[in-house]
Structure 1
Amino acid sequence: MDSLRADSERYILIERVFYLYAPEGIGRSKLVDKMGKALPGVTMTARNLNTINKLVEMVGEG
């Protein structure tokens, strides 16, 4: 995966959750594109940090 990521991208896998920091956007990320094609049958979803913060606020944790 390191060979696919842009220099500005960072990622970590914690248990079954893959966290990706893609400052140029996930739509431009070669890593995201290749992962989606390489993992058939794996359910994926993406949320940006603003969405995560809003969800936390909505459930009263923020």
Structure 2
Amino acid sequence: MENKKLMTVKEFAKEYGLGTNKAYEMVRAKGFPVITLGKKKLIVRDRIDEFLYKNIGNSF
């Protein structure tokens, strides 16, 4: 794994073992650490686990 600070939604899905559709659904969740540049969505890598821990028990 490279030491990149941002990742694409497809990279996120692969790294966390999610399907692409579910990954995009999570990216649209309130508070998810995503930056939108035009149509491209980039996820802040070091904030993902924090978001997941805060949302344990929630459905996406």
Please state which band the TM-score falls in when normalised by the shorter chain: under 0.3
Q: Give the TM-score, by structure 1 length.
A: 0.26
User: Which is higher, the Rg of structure 1 or of structure 2?
Assistant: 1
Q: Give the TM-score, by structure 2 length.
A: 0.26
